[in-house]
Structure 1
């Protein structure tokens, strides 16, 4: 039953990815990196990502000019989505690296996933943030935009990974006697859940960063 549910969730995620990617291709975002972020979010958020994309992300979305509390929440959501996209990309790249190398730390595959995926999630998170910031700071040196990206996204990435890694620990130690591997659909379904939880944990961090003026609302 769980395998069937996993396949259904993965198919929904892939279809959501394709729907958003196709629309982004026809209606490119003003901020180029979001052309990648929105489809990635479709993979783990599914139909909810489609709804948020057409409501808040697509150019000329109907609420784009509303400056009220809902719109502020939307800006924080998009900012958190930006972080989630970079982290998710890094995590997905990291999984096959650990699987193909057979890497372990202290005899644990989970700890190897933690190390590799955190490094890659942080790297891609900062790169994605840099690609968002630099076009707005072209009158300044690239290094300034890079420092701004680190300042804006470090805490966001860390909190995302905390949420994600917490769920991975639950999966590894509590839910399965033999945890699923990357060749099984259940593994990737658990990863989809991990991404959602990572997003939820990182949302308050993004709210705080934006409120303090450390990070620009998107």
Structure 2
């Protein structure tokens, strides 16, 4: 495969349109309809998750996010949200590092493209370096705003614990994401390479995020099981 075929371009446009619609739907439910969440960082995590998971993110938000809202609890006359199965707690943990990774990867892709950075005509090494750095910073920030309030930690201790909790999860995510993008660059579109000014590039990035979600899952099983990362 070299130039993206027309059918794949059409799929890419449809996938991005659905993803953005899902993100807006969640954001509107939280901020317009008033289903604010007790953990403020999740009000950003859920719409960001929808950018790559689309309708699945909406389903997960309705089941696992909206049901924690004080408004939802009042409407259903409950003192607390429904109990979550273990897989749900693990999945929520993955979405935290996933939100940071998603933002970091998007910023890195635009920055490298805008600056025209490449090695022998290949932008991938710079994209990987910037993606990992941005994702690590943003992932720790997302984790800090989840862990610090729950444990009552100050900034220094909160950042230390957040870094410990998120480093392996985030690294596992990036391994999956980098692996898929390597397939895209070297196998699917070796010449010419896809670039961020092409819609198909962002479809491939959506797939990369889903692969990253899968590779980060085992890391979160271990981290949550050992109490290094909070079960949500």
TM class by smaller structure: over 0.9
1:1-218 equivalences under 5 Å are 1-25=7-31, 26-60=34-68, 64-66=81-83, 71-105=85-119, 107-138=121-152, 140-176=153-189, 177-218=191-232
The CA deviation at 1:14 is 0.5
Contact 2:97 2:166 survives alignment (8 Å): yes
Which shows bigger deviation, 58-67 or 34-43?
58-67
**Structure 2: distance between partners of 1:213 and 1:134:** 15
The CA deviation at 1:64 is 3.7
Contact 2:67 2:82 survives alignment (8 Å): no
Q: TM-score, normalised by structure 1?
A: 0.94
Query: Which runs of structure 1 show a deviation greater than 2 angstroms over 4 or more consecutive aligned residues?
Result: 59-67, 105-108
**Structure 1: distance between partners of 2:9 and 2:121:** 27
Local SS of the residue matching 1:59? helix
**Structure 2: distance between partners of 1:131 and 1:36:** 11
**Structure 2: distance between partners of 1:2 and 1:141:** 48
The CA deviation at 1:141 is 2.9
CA-atom RMSD in angstroms: 1.6
Contact 1:44 1:196 survives alignment (8 Å): yes
**Structure 1: distance between partners of 2:141 and 2:58:** 24
Query: Aligned residues, how many?
Result: 214
Contact 1:20 1:38 survives alignment (8 Å): yes
The CA deviation at 1:108 is 2.5
Local SS of the residue matching 1:27? coil
The CA deviation at 1:178 is 1.5
Any unmatched runs of 5+ in structure 1? none
* CA distances 1:78-133 after superposition (whole Å, capped 9, x unpaired): 11111111110111111111001011246521111000111001110001111111
Contact 1:157 1:202 survives alignment (8 Å): yes
Any unmatched runs of 5+ in structure 2? 1-6
**Structure 2: distance between partners of 1:163 and 1:211:** 22
* CA distances 1:152-189 after superposition (whole Å, capped 9, x unpaired): 00000000000000000000000013221111100000
- Give the number of the structure whose alpha-carbon radius of gyration is greater: 2
**Structure 1: distance between partners of 2:126 and 2:202:** 17
**Structure 2: distance between partners of 1:94 and 1:45:** 20
Local SS of the residue matching 2:196? coil
> Paired residue for 2:3?
none
